[in-house]
Amino acid sequence: MAQALSLRLLLAFLSIGSCIAIEVTDHIDLWPMPTSVSHGTQRLYVSKDITMTMEGSTYSDEKGILKDAFQRVADLMKLNHVVDGANPSSFALTSVNVVVHSPEDELKFRVDESYNLSVPTTGNPLHAQIEAQTVFGALHALQTFSQLCYFDFTSRLIELISAPWTISDTPRFPYRGLLIDTSRHYLPVTVIKKVIDTMTYSKLNVLHWHIVDAQSFPIEIPSYPKLWNGSYSFSERYTMSDAIDIVRYAESQGVNVMAEIDVPGHALSWGVGYPSLWPSDSCKEPLDVSNNFSFGVIDGILSDFSKVFKFKFVHLGGDEVNTSCWTATPHIKKWLDDNHMNVSDAYRYFVLRSQKIAISHGYDVINWEETFNNFGDKLDRRTVVHNWLGEDVAPKVVAAGLRCIVSNQDKWYLDHLDATWEGFYTNEPLKDIDNPDQQRLVIGGEICMWGEQIDASDIEQTIWPRAAAAAGVYSECSFLPIPCIEQT
């Protein structure tokens, strides 16, 4: 629970007041701020034996999603302290009743994540009430409930102030992402799971797993088993079972996992196991556009991915493609001439052919913005353009009728260590987008933790607290200069 304590303390600095200062201010700040909040002035105590009930719920919790979440929240409220104060005879919350209306628990894009949370001051016994359409909304409600509670060092009990509470919440965007990069530095599975744990505190719901890049290819691909010869070492690898474990762990906490392979550039490591993917032994990037084997490998990877990564989207990269190897390699230069292509044509051909392969496996495709900047009118109309270079691109993307994710690097790149949390919090994804229909095409935002300068030893403290500031933008409507637009 050390990482939980660290995050809660860091989040305190992001808000005007903090749970640590409750005795002085009698004030609690929720993060991200829910859509609607009202409260009173009564102090309650939380029973050290607090339980969860599900009276009136149509959700069976056969997978234990709610049961496990409630235990995590109970541990989080204690923050490793021994709760040994005497339970008061009155004003004690003894249970949280969770009502989920949908019996389904398949995590899909745009799943209903809304919830209502009430904490009354009357009743015998006294219990908090959560109501949500889906289990995933209930998970967010439990996180919010945990923020109302704190360990009091005088009473040695968990206390909840300013009751009664009535809270309603719906996230602003359906896509609220965090990127991690396991190619530049390998991250053990346990570390990835810790990142997922902390994402839930700020209600982030997409882990963008940038699995492979030029530096290493750490994941097993059964269709092409030599690909992970490009890993750093035999121990710095992920099996397909590891990937399944990560996906299931994330989904049980309401987090989708989106895989990325970045093609045709950023793929030098692919050729360690299959050298014919390189243009030549002396010129190894981008992937050989003239070789059908390149597309066969992409098809095999995405076929294997489709059995593991069930999220609606797959990321195919497409950024920073230096095509000089294509013109410098005689057999590729001949192929270009025979097909009446220049390198720009070949770049477009590679991206669009890769898109078709991904679509054949049931995915919608996300590409970095260079694809749109170079041939936006040729992209599949289901493409989501991932904006990272500049803030002027998103308005152009949605004006063209395509969906967009915002990650402009000067504000939401966590490896930019000089980027402040204030900048993360004031970055507006809908800047210069005034048309409501176009605003709906911005499906969300993503903060990016690129791995060149971090590893397992410092990834958490580099992500937080700045990622939490961006999470406020993803979720909150109250601070916005324009009304929240309903995402449909």
The string of pLDDT tens digits covering residues 375-392 is: 999 999 999 999 999 889
Instruction: Name the average pLDDT for the chain.
Output: 92
Query: Which pLDDT band, with edges at 50, 70 and 90, does 65 fall under?
Result: very high
Q: Kindly report, residue by residue over 270-310, the tens digit of the pLDDT.
A: 999 999 999 999 999 999 999 999 999 999 999 999 999 99
Segment 262-271 shows an average pLDDT of: 98
Distance (Å) of CA 456 to CA 180, 186, 207, 211, 392: 11, 8, 16, 15, 34
Tell me the two tokens of residue 422. Answer: 């204030």
Percent of the chain with pLDDT strictly greater than 90: 86
Q: Specify the long-range contacts of residues 321-324, CB closer than 8 Å, at least 24 apart.
A: 321/264, 321/265, 321/286, 321/347, 321/370, 322/265, 322/285, 322/286, 323/286, 323/347, 324/283
Euclidean distance between CA atoms 388 and 367, whole angstroms: 11
Greater confidence (87 vs 60) lies with: 60
Cβ contacts of 17 within 8 Å, gap of 6 or more: 25, 27, 28, 29
Q: Kindly report, residue by residue over 453-479, the tens digit of the pLDDT.
A: 999 999 999 999 999 999 999 887 654
Q: Kindly report, residue by residue over 191-227, the tens digit of the pLDDT.
A: 999 999 999 999 999 999 999 999 999 999 999 999 9
175-473: in CATH 3.20.20.80: yes
Q: What pLDDT sits at residue 390?
A: 83
Q: Kindly report, residue by residue over 77-101, the tens digit of the pLDDT.
A: 888 789 888 877 788 999 999 999 9
Q: What pLDDT sits at residue 365?
A: 98
Q: Check: CB of residue 326 under 8 Å from CB of residue 335.
A: no
Q: Check: CB of residue 195 under 8 Å from CB of residue 207.
A: yes
Q: Give the range among 71-80, 126-135, 192-201, 423-432 with minimum mean pLDDT.
A: 71-80
Decide if pLDDT at 34 tops 80.
yes
Greater confidence (3 vs 201) lies with: 201
Query: Which pLDDT band, with edges at 50, 70 and 90, does 438 fall under?
Result: very high
Euclidean distance between CA atoms 158 and 216, whole angstroms: 47
Euclidean distance between CA atoms 305 and 92, whole angstroms: 49
Query: Which pLDDT band, with edges at 50, 70 and 90, does 238 fall under?
Result: very high
Distance (Å) of CA 425 to CA 49, 79, 130, 465, 468: 38, 27, 29, 11, 8
pTM for the predicted model, two decimal places: 0.93
Active site residues: 320
Q: Which CATH superfamily hosts domain 36-169? A: Chitobiase/beta-hexosaminidase domain 2-like (3.30.379.10)
Q: What pLDDT sits at residue 268?
A: 98
Cβ atoms within 10 Å of 378's Cβ, excluding its own: 14
Euclidean distance between CA atoms 196 and 198, whole angstroms: 5
Euclidean distance between CA atoms 398 and 402, whole angstroms: 5
Query: Which pLDDT band, with edges at 50, 70 and 90, does 124 fall under?
Result: confident
Place of tokens 């990321």: 315
Query: How many degrees, rounded to 5, is the angle at CA 313 between CA 188 and CA 239?
Result: 30
- Strands 157-169 and 115-119 come out as antiparallel
**130 has which bridge partners?**
98, 117
Domain residue extents for the chain: 36-169, 175-473
Q: What pLDDT sits at residue 26?
A: 57
Euclidean distance between CA atoms 45 and 101, whole angstroms: 29
